[in-house]
Amino acid sequence: MRISEFISLIIKRFGMEPTADQRRALSCFGRFLADRSDRCVMIMRGSAGTGKTSLAAAMVGTLAALGQKLQLMAPTGRAAKVFSVHCHLPASTIHRHIYRRKSAVAGSFSLNDNLYRNALFVVDEASMISGTASGETVFGTNSLLDDLLEYVYGGQNCRLFLIGDTAQLPPVGEEESPALQSAVLEAYGMHVYQCDLNEVVRQRLDSGILWNATMLRALITHDEITQLPKIRFQGFADIVMLPGAEFVEAVASSYGHVGEDETMIVTRSNKRANIYNIGIRNTVLDREEELVRGDMLMVVRNKYLDEGQPVNFIANGDRAVVVSVHNFRELYGFHFADVTLRFPDYEDFELASTAILDTLHSDAPALTASESQQLFESVMEDYADIPRKTDRMAALKNDNYYNALQIKYAYAVTCHKAQGGQWAHIYLDQGYMTDDMLTPDYIHWLYTAFTRATEKLFLVNWPSTQTQ
């Protein structure tokens, strides 16, 4: 099939006249697929409102209809689910696809063998892929980008298609998103095809969310900015200034209209997220008990599961719904309960586990270093009668309390935790900000937060000085 015929099929599936940027992207995609060299990779960068997601779905759908082997992936469970919904094909997290458990070492994962032939691996939200070590040493080489490239190109005639938005927050500890930079990939010996979608689809400018997101994206490259960006509300129905006094009623309304799973509060700190979480449970949901059936939770530390489970680990940031909770108790100076959780981003997988409850109310992102040390030392005392240290450590790795799920309420999260996900209604609280506090990171943060909303964005206690 000629490239032009292939592009025509994509446009037909796309269902609208492509913009000039989109046509260039389609041409680039056709040349990328036609290239027969061994180490080809394509990057498609696009901001909110440029049709990146719709175009990617048309590309993927056309290839699937032609019988091309495809593997869809994303950095987080929520992002994979969103990608799957758009493309009408299954998608998984990168970690769950490219790593396998080391059978001899609990909680340690090595790079899987890529047994696919002639497959295209498509990764959405590639801006979240880290290139440097992040402190978590249980996965492969500790560089997700290194491992992803090694895995994909370890297969026979396989290649990689990366999709993302450079205006979003880069991986923690990095100034830019390495997976979306051609120079970085070329340093791996890759032949890089790249394209950028910058032209906002005309009809989408009717959206206040996308109009302001486009404005914020333009500011990212302006180093001379000295004032906080002014948000436009006039003429837009999907972006609302919400006084604090109306917050409870508005959130209750969102829960009634779109549901708890499609409503999210985004804040700038774990401390503010904690305040919102406790307030929502008390005032909106009228829940007095510490943990009840139906509570929305987020796992805040990786939990590695026994072999034979359909999911081999629960990742930091994964969301869950409480199915049941019982047997509350206090041990080792901490509070525990037995819970059964359902994970909606993983085909409603259910897990029964012991959970530590102290993290629910903590302003820290998880157990602090001192708390973790306290738990370690207290649990180890139970195994003091085991003479060999290696045997004591083996027992510790299987201890339900030491390996208890660390959880937080998930009605409000930081922007880093929200990244990769989308919700119908987003409530955004940036907290106290002044012009003196303005940094490029703030603009990335604000842009990322804005683009989490698919239907309506509520700006909570937004100062009038930041409006136009």
pLDDT digits (tens, 9 = 90+) for 314-350: 888 899 999 999 999 999 999 999 999 999 988 899 9
| 114 shares its domain with 246 | no
- Give strand pairing partners of 114: none
Instruction: Give me the percent of the chain exceeding a pLDDT of 90.
Output: 72
> Taking 90 as the threshold, does the pLDDT of residue 173 lie above it?
no
DSSP 222: -
Name the residue type at position 325. V
pLDDT tens digits, residue range 18-31?
Answer: 999 999 999 999 99
Q: Are strands 159-164 and 91-93 parallel, antiparallel or unpaired?
A: unpaired
**Would you state the structure tokens that stand for residue 192, as one six-digit string?**
């890089």
| 278 shares its domain with 424 | yes
pLDDT, residue 134, reads 56
| 175 shares its domain with 50 | yes
Among the three residues 176, 202, 228, which one is the final residue of a domain in this structure?
202
Q: Tokens 């919904």 label which residue?
A: 85
Please classify residue 44 by burial: count the beta carbons closer than 10 Å to its beta carbon, then call 0-12 exposed, 13-18 middle and 19+ buried.
buried
pLDDT, residue 2, reads 87
| 255 shares its domain with 385 | no
| 198 shares its domain with 227 | no
Task: Report, as an integer, the average pLDDT of 362-369.
Answer: 92
Name the residue type at position 342. R
pLDDT tens digits, residue range 180-233?
Answer: 999 999 999 999 999 999 998 855 668 999 999 999 998 887 667 778 899 999
| 175 shares its domain with 267 | no
DSSP 437: G
Say how far apart CA 317 and CA 123 lie, in whole Å.
19
> Taking 80 as the threshold, does the pLDDT of residue 108 lie above it?
no
Q: Check: pTM over 0.85? Answer yes or no.
A: yes
Domain count, the chain: 3
Q: Taken in order 409, 415, 419, 424, is the CA torsion positive or negative?
A: positive
Say how far apart CA 250 and CA 243 lie, in whole Å.
10
Q: What CATH number has the domain bearing residue 161?
A: 3.40.50.300
Residue 94: which domain range?
3-202
| 306 shares its domain with 378 | yes
